[in-house]
Amino acid sequence: MNILFVGDITGSAGLEKARQELGRLRRQYKADVVIVNGENAAERNGITEKQFRDLRFAGADVVTLGNHAWANSEIYQFIDQEDAIIRPLNYPEGTAGKGYTIVDLGRVQLAVVNLLGNVYVSTLPSPFTMIDAVLQDLKQQNVRHIIIDFHGEATSEKMAFANYVDGRVSAVLGTHTHVQTADGRILPKGTAYISDVGMTGVVDSVLGVKTELAIQQFMTQIPVRFQHAEGKAQLCGVVVELDDKTGKATAITPLQV
């Protein structure tokens, strides 16, 4: 099984790049499932229903979120009705949406789990304490193929978590920092890992934000209302190859388009 995972869609330029590339990349890499992090698609972060449906039409089977999940209030209008969009699992019981979903491919099932880190990002329950019950539930359903979108700031937290679940999930793929890291690898017990898959958005920017606004905030130390940059965009992500029988990863390939 091949999984195409695309990093944080940032603004209208990132969304357009995803529209242009997802179908082609799916065909090129023979991807069985396409997963996209869409939490920064909207102008003020978050995601609208139209943007979600645009990503689905472009080829995304699952859309994951992160710390900006609730930034656009429109999310409440559709998240409970859609199996193809998930928010971080860490949120308390009763929160709108769900923390994982299962894609049924007939011959095999793939679970996609969304988790939010604690370090510099949130004070939600620890992803370490949240994941075991979910993995036990998936084991009872005989689901061996499990992809985790770990949305977090600290590479140490992401690496520690990946080693905590090594051999119990297929891949731990980092999002949130918007810069693709050079540490993609297969961990000793068969879990694919990368600290961050990177951003899909404007290249000449500061993490997708207009450069002059980011510089202004650093120079004045006064909060600035950020705006997404405009211009040439790139798509960042990874392709993960999984063994159909065991669910363990056999390869992870970073992409920059």
Percent of the chain with pLDDT over 90: 82
The model's pLDDT over 132-190, given as tens digits with 9 standing for 90+, comes to 999 999 999 999 999 999 999 999 999 999 999 999 999 999 999 999 999 999 999 99
Across 52-75, average pLDDT: 94
Query: Any idea of the CA torsion for 121, 136, 162, 113, to the nearest 10 degrees?
Result: -50
Query: Positive or negative, the Cα torsion across 173, 179, 180, 184?
Result: negative
pLDDT, residue 71, reads: 87
pLDDT, residue 44, reads: 79
226 — pLDDT class (breaks 50, 70, 90): confident
Query: CB–CB of 5/32 below 8 Å?
Result: no
Of 20 and 225, the structure prediction assigns the larger pLDDT to 20
Across 47-51, average pLDDT: 94
pLDDT, residue 121, reads: 86
Active site residue 68: yes
Enumerate long-range contacts of 180-189, CB under 8 Å, 24 or more apart. 180/7, 180/236, 180/254, 180/256, 181/155, 182/254, 184/238, 184/252, 184/253, 184/254, 185/252, 186/249, 186/250, 186/251, 186/252, 187/162, 187/163, 189/248
> Has residue 211 got a pLDDT over 90?
no
DSSP symbol at 101 = E
223 — pLDDT class (breaks 50, 70, 90): confident
154-179-174 Cα angle (round to 5): 50
Number of domains present in the structure of the chain: 1
pLDDT, residue 176, reads: 95
Token representation of residue 74:
């429109």
d(CA 233, CA 208): 9
> Which domain covers residue 126, as residue numbers?
2-256
Options 68, 145, 151, 228, the catalytic residue: 68
pLDDT, residue 68, reads: 92
Query: Positive or negative, the Cα torsion across 88, 44, 37, 54?
Result: positive
Query: CB–CB of 82/65 below 8 Å?
Result: no
Residues 6+ apart with CB under 8 A from 163: 187
CATH number of domain containing 217 = 3.60.21.10
pLDDT, residue 89, reads: 95
Considering only CA atoms, which of 83, 158, 145 is closest in space to residue 119? 158
> Has residue 220 got a pLDDT over 80?
yes
Of 103 and 205, the structure prediction assigns the larger pLDDT to 103
Residue 95 burial (CB < 10 Å; 0-12/13-18/19+)?
middle
> Has residue 86 got a pLDDT over 80?
yes
Percent of the chain with pLDDT over 70: 100
Mean pLDDT score across all residues of the chain: 94
